[in-house]
Structure 1
Amino acid sequence: MDNVFVTYLGTDGGLCAEPDDIPKVNTTVWVLGKSYNAIQEIELIRRDIQSKLWCTYRRGFVPLGECQLTTDKGWGCMLRCGQMVLAQALIDLHLGRDWFWTPECFDATYLKIVNRFEDSRKSFFSIHQIALMGDSEDKKVGQWFGPNTVAQVMKKLVRYDDWCSIVVHVALDNVVVTDEIYSLCLESETNDDTWKPLLLIIPLRLGLNTINPIYVPALKKCFELVGSVGMIGGRPNQALYFIGYVDDEVLFLDPHTTQRSGSVGNKSSIDESDLDETYHQKYAGRIDFQAMDPSLALCFLCKSRISFEIIIDKLKTEVIPSSSQPLFEITKARSPEWKSAAVASGMNCTNQEGFEDLNHLRATGAATNKEDEGSDEDFEIIS
């Protein structure tokens, strides 16, 4: 692993007494809808962070694409962030927000989830499936994704996994249209039990080159909501998965560590158990909110119709009013003009290819495998 020792070792090679992950001041830390005291609950904070699935660059996986790439180092950081937000949604849905991981975890449901993100063509949400499905979004294997692109890919991939039971809605044009979500999630409007658990993703652009500070209070409010599964975004040239905040800094998990590829399986061997531990990082990074790239996507899990309506109410009454300019709009129905524009742009097109066919897609464009970890200069900016 390229960066793993930075957490534990000082720059001179000596052991650090304490990682600088959470400020040592008497303040509140928010992690995906939960609040903690930074001093009194530091180990609980770290336990919560460690329970998130940490998806990073990998090396040595089955060759991918025409260029036969065996690592996603240098190009797969946003894809890994997409994996992390989807994994957190599955953990929250199937295990609960209060579930915690330990190295001794052999829970069958947890293993089902982590197996889905392994670097294999057979895994529903592997780097292979995300990269190959990206071809339908005009992204060739080895190209960088933006938050909107990875959201559109996840929207398609979840359709092939009945067990995950999640549907994804990507709010276009900074507008959440509730009628579209009810149509997607409810098989019967008169029976709330037919609700399909929803991963709501809202791609946004909050500035030209940097985050406009007027939006920071609203972003903080998003992390405080029950049902938040974080934000897909980054800092310029580097994708990150944002999971909370403390004061004026946002907490993140960083995919820019290259680890070996392999299978966790059922954790029936020492090697599988060791590999499972590579999916967990105890210490979050933190940067100032205004150091974030202005292109990001808000993510929320709505397990039931009631939880969806609560989140919509909180967004209307707490999140949107907290900034002088609203982050986005919420409306019941999309106007005819919006519908025509969406059809004309092809934004609502769906992919009808079967999952097995997806396994055999090949990118037709050239891909470059950049080995320099700081070489993400083409990080996509969504306008």
Structure 2
Amino acid sequence: MFQSLLNLKYSWQQSTKDDINNKELVDAAISILGFSIKNLPSEKKKEIIQQIYSRTIWLTYRKNFPQILNSQQTTDAGWGCMLRSGQMIWAQILRVHIRQKKQHSKDYQYKLLCAFSDDDDDEHKKMFTDNLKFCLSPYSLQKIEAISQIKFSKKPCQWYSPDQILNALELLHQQKQLEGSEDLKISISDSIFYDKLYSEMYGLNQDCEHIVNEIKQDKTKEISKICNICEKKQPKALAIFLQTRIGLDEINKEYLPFLNELIDLPQFQGIIGGKDDKAYYILGRVNKKLIYLDPHYIQEHINRGNVVMLKDTFFCKDVKYINEETISPSIAFGFYCQNQMELDKFFNSLEQIKKNYDKEKIFCYISRITPNSYIIGIDENDVLIIQDEDI
């Protein structure tokens, strides 16, 4: 009964008319998954949004899959929306990464969809024996639940926060990479520090002294030429996740211009967040309306045997929008940098954007090198006063 009511509500929402009209699209700032759409007729803009949206992998609640570890649950309806949103942003980055290599197999989409299938033949039990070599569904809901119980002592079938789902996906990716993503690394932080990202890309020590010293000597030095002393390893692509809050109980509207500029970056691959305890995968924006995929729809479970037959259940045609002022303050951004050139462009863009705002209107720390912090005292309310090194 609950599932029927939920799907009925979702179907009604899906059948409502598109709330973006042609007049709004005329001079609209439109960005979706790293693409900027402008200087086109309104109908063409709408068509491109539709094309990108309907080709993005959509992951929703599922039912009738094998029982989740240490529980009787055979559906994630009612609690798995952040988990599904996390799967969507990770599926999108994997899709972009594999396609950009231009050496992907013809069945790469099938393998990608299988990687997130729910009925994974009890493969999650192999995590207890460290034997995932032949795993074909490395990011299934069952494995996310199992790794979260093992590593984070998370109880079965609880709601996830953005940082919890991202950390679970990172651990699963470390254990078993999908074919074609062996050279992709995940970076999760609440700040953007170039030296940290650079070091992660090249597999260097995070506190590489050459990077730090050269930046201190010349803050204007071209960042692509910073570390020419270190013996560089083969660089990896980076999936950069920035987890942050843009307010306390509700969003701080002063943060929204900065948020929109991050959405406009070509490296942008989405936001996981939501509204009223409902998590969504946000793909971009049309002016002040956010484009999103909604996981709150219950579909039959997927296994590797029926992925082809049920392929259409992974894609949504009806574009949905939400007012940016109504989203919840706890969110996580996803960015993708294929190589050092892209990382440099990404950070250079952030530095330029940062110049346009006062500190109180920026919700994350951006710096070329990781600052040193130290305690300088305690105030009258017994709160620690922390001084950051000015770089």
TM-score, normalization by structure 1: 0.76
CA shift, 1:221, in A, is 1.2
Q: Does 1:242 find its partner at 2:282?
A: yes
Residue type of the alignment partner of 1:45:
I
- What CA distance in whole angstroms lies between the structure 2 residues aligned with 1:61 and 1:124? 16
Distance 1:35 1:177, change over 3 A: closer
What is the one-letter code of the residue matched to 1:243? L
Q: Which residue of 2 aligns with 1:177?
A: 193
Q: CA deviation at 1:41?
A: 2.8
> Would you say the 8 A contact 2:18–2:319 is kept in 1?
no
Letter in 1 for 2:111: K
**Further displaced range: 158-167 or 57-66:** 158-167
1:70: which partner in 2? Answer: 74
Q: Partners of 2:101 and 2:289 in 1: how far apart?
A: 23
Indicate yes or no: 2:335 matched with 1:300: yes
Unmatched 5+ residue regions in structure 2? Answer: 124-134, 205-226, 375-391
3-state SS of paired residue (1:61): coil
User: What does residue range 93-242 of structure 1 map to in structure 2 within 5 Å?
Assistant: 93-96=97-100, 107-119=106-118, 120=120, 121=123, 122=135, 123-135=137-149, 136-162=151-177, 163=179, 164-165=181-182, 166-171=184-189, 174-187=190-203, 194-242=234-282
Which residue, 85, 88, 103 being the options, matches 2:89? 85
Unaligned 5+ runs, structure 1: 11-18, 99-105, 266-270, 339-383
Helix, strand or coil for the counterpart of 2:259? helix
Cα drift, residue 259 of structure 1:
0.4
Question: Does 2:292 match 1:252?
Answer: yes
Q: 1:138 to 1:192 in 2, by over 3 A?
A: same
RMSD: 2.6
Query: Higher helix share goes to which structure?
Result: 2
- The aligned amino acid for 2:244 is L
Kept in 2, the 8 Å contact 1:54–1:255? The answer is yes
Separation in structure 2 between the aligned mates of residue 178 and residue 139 of structure 1, nearest angstrom: 32
SS at match of 1:86: helix
Is residue 14–residue 318 contact of structure 2 (8 Å, CA) maintained in 1? Answer: no
Distance 1:306 1:78 in 2: 32
AA matched with 1:175: S
Q: Percent identity?
A: 26
Deviations 1:215-264 (A, max 9, x none): 11111111211111111111121001111111211111000001001235
- Structure number, greater radius of gyration: 2
Residues 333 and 250 (structure 1), Cα distance of their counterparts in 2 relative to 1, 3 Å cut: same
Counterparts of 1:238 and 1:6, CA distance in 2:
17
Deviations 1:36-72 (A, max 9, x none): 3543232221111011110100001111121221100
TM-score (norm 2): 0.74
Counting matched residue pairs gives: 317
Residue 56 of structure 1, aligned match among 57, 60, 70? 60
- Give the Å deviation of 1:285: 1.5
Question: CA–CA distance in 2 between the matches of 1:327 and 1:301?
Answer: 20
